[in-house]
A and B are shown apart, each in its own frame.
Chain A
C-alpha cells in the first residue's frame, strides 16, 4: 500500500490510528498485536501471496535469535549468526539476483534455457537488512532478546517496513513505554500529521511532477539534445530527491502519530559540500548500515591483517599509499560496490556504486593527505564545493537511472554537447498535463530555479518541524519564519496544501525506493 494512495489515506491509516487509540489503553500485548496485525495487513494488501515471505523471514530470524540467545559458547553463537545471515542473504539473492543473472548467462549463450524472472517482494531488502542488523547486534550484546510479538512489531511496523528508515531495535522498541502509549496524543498527532502532510505534498506535487520528464528522457535518450537532456537529468535529480525526502517525511510523521521518533533519514543532501557529507545526508540510515556492517568490518579485517604482517595500522600508516589503499580505499570500494549492486543486478548499478566509491576515495584521500590546517583545505568556497558535489551526484544519478550503461554514457555525452537531438518540444508527446512545464524553455528553467532554491536555500522538513537542535540546522533562509507551530496560520497552510495534494493524487506513482 502506498502512503500516497487513497486506500492508505482514507481507509487504512484512520483505522490503524483509531484501533491503536482504543487498544492502546489495554496494555502492551493488545497494542503490539494490533499494530503487528495492521502492519501485516498493510504489507499483504499489495499481494497477500508475498505476506508468507515476510512471515517466513520473521519466523526464521526469530528462531535464529533463540539459537543465539541459548547458545552456550561463543562459537555456537557465531555459527547461528552466520547461518542466519546466510539464510537472509540467500533469500535476497534468490529474489533479487539469481534470475537476472541466469537471464544474463542465457543471453550470452552460456545457458540453454531462460529461467524467466520472479517478482521482487516489496521491501525485501529493508526487512532483511533490519533483521540481519538485529542478529548481529544481539550476538554482540548490543540488543536485548525480544519476545515474539515485540520482534514481529519491530520488523513489520508499517512506517518503516517498505523503504526504511533502517532502524535498530534499540531505536524503536524502548520507546513503547507504557506511560506514553495509552492511545493517541494530541501533541504527537499534531507534529506527525503535519510532518506527514508536508511529505505527501513533496511526493505528489513535486516528485510526481518531475518524474514523467525524467522518464521521457531515460526511455528515449537518443531523441533529445543537450538542453532537453539537462532538463531531464535535473528532473530526475529533483524527482529522486523529493520522492525519497517525501517518503522519509511521511515515514517519520507516521511514526510520530504513534508517539515514536524514528531517526532522521534525509537531511538536505544537495546542500553537501563534499561527497562524504552527501552520503551522511542521503538515506542516512542506509549509510549508517553500510558503515557499521560493511565498511567497518572490512576495514577492521584489513587492519588486523596488516598487524599480523607486522605492519603499522595507525593514522600515520593511513597516510602512506599502501596503508591508505588497504585500510581505506579497498574497504570503501568493496562497500560501495556492494551498495551499488544492492540496488539491482545491472551494469548501471555497478557503475553507480563504483563511481561513488571513486568519489569517496578521492574525498578521503584529500582529507588524509592534505593536512587540516593547510591552505589547500580552504581553497574552495562552500557554494563552489556544493556545486561540484552536486555535479558528481548528477553523474551518479544518470548511471543509476539509465536503462543500461550504454544509455547512461550516451546521456552524459549529450549533456556535454557531444550528440545532436531535439529540443524541449520533443517532450510534448510523452508528458501528462501536470508535467508540461518542461516543454517551454522559460517554464522549464523557472521550475528548475525554484527547485534549486528549495533544496539549496530553504530549511528542510525536520528543521521546519523543529525536530533538530539549533546547532544541527543546515544553512538556510527563513528558518524562523517557516518554523512550524500548531497555530491558525499553519493550519490554514496545511489545509491548502492538503487540498491541492488531494486533487493531484490521481497521478501519484510508487516510491522509487520501493523497487529496491
Chain B
C-alpha cells in the first residue's frame, strides 16, 4: 500500500490508490445501475419534449391559455378582413366580435404571448397567411418594448415559444434553434414536466374551454385581480426600432393588406411611460402612446387588460380601422 493509501486508510478508512477488481457479474450490475441513473435525466427531458409536442399535454393543463397557443397556425380557409397579431396584450385585450360589430368587417385575433414571437418570429402569422385569405387590415398591437426585435431569449419566458414550436413546427429548424438555446430548452422541459405531472390527475379541458379561442375568433381572456397600483420596480425600457417596424410594413403590406402598427396603451403610473413618450417618434406607429385607467388592467401579465379594458381598447382600434377605411376610399 502506498503512503498516500496508508494515510487515506487511517483518515477515511479507504485506500484509493489500491486497484480494486470487481467480479464480472458485479461489474455488469454496477454498469446497469450507473447507466439507468445517467440516462434517466436525458430520457426525462426528451420524453417531456415529446409529450409537449402532443395536443394531449395542453389539454390536461388547468386553464385554456396554453392550449390556445398558436391559434393562427390552426386556422385554414378563414376570411378575416381585420387580422389582429401581436403579443399577449393583444390576445387578451382585443375583442374580434366587438370589432366586427363596430366596423362591419370580419375580424380574427391570432396574437400570442411574446415568448412565441421571441422564439419563432412571426411563424403563426406566416402560417395564417399561407392557409387563409389575405386580410384587408393587419394590425400589430404590442407593448412598447416589443416595438423592436428581442436580442436573444432574455426578454420574456421562452416556455410558450418552445411549446408552440414543438406543437406546430417540430422540424429541423426547431432542432437548430433548440441546440443554440439548450439551457432554455432544458428549463422549458423541466417546467413542462412539472406542470404536466401536476395536471395528470386533472380531467382534459371540456370542449368549450379547449376551443375557447376558436369560439371567440381568437380572443383569449386571462381573468385576474384588477390592478390597483403600478409596480415601480418593473421597468422595461427598450427603444423602438424604426427599421424593424418598416420591415414589418414592407413584408406584410402587400397583396391589398394595409399594415397598422399599434402600441398598447399604458396606465399613466407605469414607470416606463415617460421613456416611451420620449422615444416613440412620429410615424413609427399608427396610433399614439396613450393611457387607460389603471382599473382597465389586471395583474395576470404586463399591460393585460380586463374585460372592461378590452372593450375600451377594441373601441379605439375599431375607430382607427373605420378611419382607415374612410381614408382608403
Contacts and interface: CB of A to CB of B under 8 A. Distances in A.
Question: Do chains A and B interact in one complex?
Answer: yes
B41 interface: yes
A367 to B, nearest CB: 23
A261 B44 contact: no
Contacts of A264: 12
Interface string A175-198: 101011000001101100110010
Nearest to B11: A263
Interface in A130-182: 170-171, 174-175, 177, 179-180
Interface residues on B, range: 35 or more
**Listed residue (B14, B26, B37) with the most chain A CB atoms within 10 angstroms of its CB:** B37
Interface stretch (B61-69, B183-191, B280-288): B183-191
B37 A498 contact: yes
A7 B186 CA distance: 9
B36 A260 contact: no
Contact of A261 (B2, B12, B30, B31): B12
B45 interface: yes
B182 interface: yes
Interface in A478-516: 486-487, 490-491, 494-495, 498-499, 502-506
B57 to A, nearest CB: 15
Contact of A506 (B27, B42, B187, B197): B187
Interface string A470-483: 00100000000000
Contact of B16 (A11, A180, A495): A180
Contacts, number: 102
Contacts of A174: 2, 4, 17
B176 interface: no
Interface in B134-157: none
Nearest to A186: B30
B12 A10 contact: no
Interface in A282-340: none
A487 to B, nearest CB: 8
B133 interface: no
Chain A interface: which size bin? 35 or more
A259 B37 contact: no
A254 to B, nearest CB: 13
Contacts of B42: 10
A393 to B, nearest CB: 25
B126 interface: no
Given A9-B41, A187-B30, A495-B36, A259 B16 contact: yes
Nearest to A504: B194
Contacts of B193: 502-503
A259 B14 CA distance: 12
Contact of A187 (B2, B13, B20, B191): B20
Interface in B1-32: 2, 4, 7-8, 11-14, 16-17, 19-20, 22, 26-27, 29-31
A372 to B, nearest CB: 24
Contact of A505 (B29, B31, B190): B190
Interface in B108-130: none
A190 B33 contact: yes
B27 A186 contact: yes
Contacts of B8: 261
Interface in B25-81: 26-27, 29-31, 33-34, 36-38, 40-42, 44-45
B190 A10 contact: no
A468 interface: yes
A469 interface: yes
B34 A499 contact: no
A122 B36 CA distance: 34
Given A502-B190, A506-B191, A175 B4 contact: yes
A486 B33 contact: yes
B113 to A, nearest CB: 18
A186 B34 contact: yes
Interface in A1-60: 5-7, 9-11, 14
Contacts of A486: 29-30, 33
Contact of B183 (A6, A170, A180): A6
Contacts of B183: 5-7
Interface string B168-198: 0000000000000011001100110110010
A9 B124 CA distance: 33
A467 interface: yes
10 contacts: A170-B7, A186-B34, A187-B27, A187-B30, A261-B14, A467-B13, A486-B30, A495-B40, A498-B37, A505-B187
Given A263-B12, A506-B190, 6 more contacts: A6-B182, A7-B182, A174-B17, A197-B37, A486-B29, A491-B36
**The 5 residue pairs across chains A and B that have the minimum distance between CB atoms:** A469-B13, A186-B30, A6-B186, A503-B194, A486-B33
Interface of A: 5-7, 9-11, 14, 170-171, 174-175, 177, 179-180, 186-187, 189-190, 193-194, 197, 259-261, 263-264, 467-469, 472, 486-487, 490-491, 494-495, 498-499, 502-506
